[in-house]
Structure 1
Amino acid sequence: MLSTEQLYHKFLECTGVSIDTRRITPNCLFVALKGANFDGNQFAEQAIASGAKYALVDDEVVATQNPARYLLVSDCLTALQDLARHHRQTFTFPVIALTGSNGKTTTKELIAAVLSKKYRTYATVGNLNNHIGVPLTLLSLNEQCEMAVVEMGANHQKEIELLCSIAQPTHGLITNVGKAHLEGFGGIEGVRKGKGELYDFLAQHAKTVFINSRDTTLTAMYRERLKTLRSETTFAEAIFYPGDPVELVQESPVVIYRDVTGHDVTTHLPGRYNFDNMLAALAIGQYFGVSPEDANRAVADYTPTNNRSQVIVKGSNTVLLDAYNANPSSMAAAIRQFAATPARRKVVILGDMYELGDESEAEHAALGKLIADSNFDLVILAGKDMKYALAHLPNAYYFPDKFSLHNWIMDNPMTDTHILIKGSRGMSLETVVQFI
């Protein structure tokens, strides 16, 4: 079996890494991961036939079938993570890690956009932010990079700790701590502890942390670690932002902020919650010497995609599509923001929030109360757990499945309406847009 060092030499002969035979690139390294319903070892031959230079396998029988092209390790996932860690250690440029309950991907993209004005910056592609995605992100880095922005997601404790051990960030940011993945984390305190593992790593290794000074939870988490590590290693420095006065001028339908020079910057993102994401990107840009003009231009030019805070015009209707994911914290923020949006007629189409465990009924019921207090013109709910919101919404339309929802929307066309669509990823509520 190959050691990490031996595997790394083989990796250097390759053009990249793939874990999917449908996405093989010429001379890449195919990694045969296992899943609940598949064994990647069985696709090694197909990967080589499709152009992979080597296939990393952990089945000894498979390995004997093509010893020149099949690289045998004891466990492919562990080998992938160790390979990524080894590759990361060959670079000395800054690696900025970020996690949080909400806003990770948007913040990551804003940070990357700002830093790209001055540095060759590589950032996590899409949502590759877990125990597989982070290694793949790191293995995409090369000597041409000057900066890396690595998004880290987690749905249970010790996951951020693992990702930090692989990525070894030099700088870090937690966007916020909210009610996300409550089932896996074991409640809100579990979320706090799990996300705080990034602070733990940065403190223990004397690295730099960026902290939203207006977030009392994050500030408290920082101070807790100062007390705990008083006689040991602690953060190299803590950058509290916003330091310079950046004023929120307008939050709806899109954010407009006034920068330190007094100029108004109009963005493509709605909501106060996205303003916080912008402040993080501006603070990191300032820290790394990006000019205010370039940073503002990057934030202003950023256009959301992939069902996140997208504004879509459909005839006379304006749709705010925020259907990539949802949890009680992000759903509440979106509803409050939408309620404050000036519009003649406002409709919400909301789907289930997933991974809430025993808290699901209570959290969906609380959401129903918030929606009722917001006085929307029409409320449409979908999914098995949204029925718990109906106690506060006797006039809402409820559909246990999307097929019924699609049919109702087609039969009841809307005009001159602002529409918020939001739900967890498993609901895939973006499919609703085509019927509006």
Structure 2
Amino acid sequence: MTIQNLYNFYSISSGIVTNSKKVKKNSIFFSLKGKNFDGNQFAYEAILNGAMIAIVDNKKYSLLHKNIFYVKNSLYFLHKLAIYHRFKLINIPIIAITGSNGKTTTKELITSILSKKYENVHHTKGNFNNHIGIPLTILSMPKNTQISVIEIGANHEKEIKKMCSIINPDYGYITNFGKAHLEGFKNIKGIIRGKLELYNFLKKKKKKFLSMEMILYN
């Protein structure tokens, strides 16, 4: 299975799911793993529930059905698929938001403001702001999107940098620096370095860092 082949399936699918119980007809199921679960175990159930195909990273589960495909790392392929989709929609501007507090409120505020100007504003739903939620958010972005607002959460350094490589934002906004997730960032300096990964990405790509005044009056 290559990313191009997977994208061909994605382009005619009803979307991406990671929960076999939330499968829609002709969706694509990604089997992800965590400390207390292994999504590979539910790939066949996803097919029975109507999934077009299922992606697994344990070979034995790919033998259960012709539409279950093995890859080395399901999460890696999910990220790659999101990056590929973003490249296809590269002309759609994305605002990325991060910070220790107030990310969701700020995202909702900015989305509301933009909706006064644009008919099709795409944005992060719920708390889909991590290494799984962000690629799913990108993959939920339809072609008629005019602008998107994506929230980035992080609990350790380099995480925001990695998420920026998937989102490829055109604009960025940092709400604040606080003492959240100190166990991952270790200290306040680590938090500042982590949040500034968004700023550094935008600077390197020669993109814009926003202020609330720019959002309100442009």
TM, length-normalised to structure 1: 0.49
Distance 2:190 2:154 in 1: 11
Code of the aligned partner of 2:33: K
Q: For residues 150-161 of structure 1, what are the structure 2 equivalents within 5 Å?
A: 150-161=150-161
Matches within 5 A, 1:224-235: none
1:5 aligned partner, one-letter code = Q
Correspondence for 2:214: 283
1:126 maps onto 2:57 in alignment: no
Report the counterpart of residue 171 of structure 1 in structure 2. 171
Q: Name the counterpart of 2:113.
A: 114
Aligned to 1:141: 141
What is the number of equivalent residue pairs in this alignment?
A: 216
| Cα shift at 1:81 | 0.5
Partner of 2:64: 65
Matches within 5 A, 1:137-286: 137-211=137-211, 280=212, 283-286=214-217
Which stretches in structure 2 are left out of the alignment for 5+ residues? Answer: none
Is 1:7 aligned with 2:6? yes
Deviations 1:300-324 (A, max 9, x none): xxxxxxxxxxxxxxxxxxxxxxxxx
**Post-superposition shift, 1:52?**
1.1
SS class of match (2:210): strand
Q: Which runs of 4+ in 1 moved over 3 A?
A: none
Q: Work out the CA distance in 2 between the residues paired with 1:75 and 1:285.
A: 42
8 Å contact kept, 2:62–2:69? yes
Q: Are positions 1:35 and 2:34 aligned together?
A: yes
Q: How many Å apart are 1:53 and its aligned residue?
A: 1.0
3-state DSSP class of the match of 1:176?
coil
Whether 1:45 aligns to 2:44 is yes
Preserved contact between residue 44 and residue 64 of structure 2 (Cα < 8 Å):
no
SS of 2:191 mapped into structure 1: helix
TM-score by length of 2: 0.96
Identity of aligned residues (%): 46
Distance 1:145 1:285, change over 3 A: farther
State the AA in 1 paired with 2:69.
L
CA distances 1:356-398 after superposition (whole Å, capped 9, x unpaired): xxxxxxxxxxxxxxxxxxxxxxxxxxxxxxxxxxxxxxxxxxx
CA shift, 1:200, in A, is 0.7
Larger RCO (CA within 8 A; separation ≥ 6): 2
- Secondary structure (helix, strand or coil) at the match of 1:166 reads helix
- CA drift of 1:58 comes to 1.1
What secondary structure sits across from 1:196 in the alignment? helix
What aligned pairs does 1:234-383 form with structure 2 within 5 A after superposition? 280=212, 283-287=214-218
> What is the CA distance between 1:110 and its match in structure 2?
0.7
Name the amino acid aligned to 2:87.
Q
- Structure number with greater Rg is 1
Q: Give 1:10 deviation, angstroms.
A: 1.3
Contact 2:86-2:167 at 8 Å conserved across structures: yes
Map 1:64-83 to 2 at 5 A.
64-67=63-66, 69-83=67-81
Q: Distance in 1 between matches of 2:186 and 2:70?
A: 37
Aligned-residue offset at 1:285: 3.9
Q: Matches of 1:178 and 1:29 in 2, distance apart?
A: 38
How far did residue 283 of structure 1 move? 3.2
Q: Partner letter of residue 105 of structure 2?
A: T
Taking the aligned partners of 1:286 and 1:131, their CA distance within structure 2 comes to 32
State the partner residue of 2:98. 99
TM-fit CA distance, 1:25: 1.5
Q: How far 1:71 moved relative to its partner?
A: 2.1
Measure how far apart 1:109 and its partner are: 0.6
* Cα RMSD after superposing both structures: 1.1
- Superposition deviation, residue 36 in structure 1: 0.9
3-state secondary structure, aligned to 1:89: helix
For residues 28 and 216 of structure 2, the distance between their equivalents in structure 1, rounded to whole angstroms, comes to 35
Q: Deviation digits for residues 324-359 of structure 1, max 9, x if unmatched?
A: xxxxxxxxxxxxxxxxxxxxxxxxxxxxxxxxxxxx
Name the SS for the 2:129 alignment partner: coil
Name the CA distance, whole Å, in 2 between partners of 1:156 and 1:133: 16
Alpha-carbon shift at residue 27 of structure 1 (Å) = 1.1
The residue number in structure 2 matching 1:24 is 23
How far off its partner does 1:64 sit? 2.1
Partner of 1:89: 87
What amino acid is the match of 2:217? Answer: Q
SS of 2:148's equivalent?
strand
Shift of 1:171: 0.5
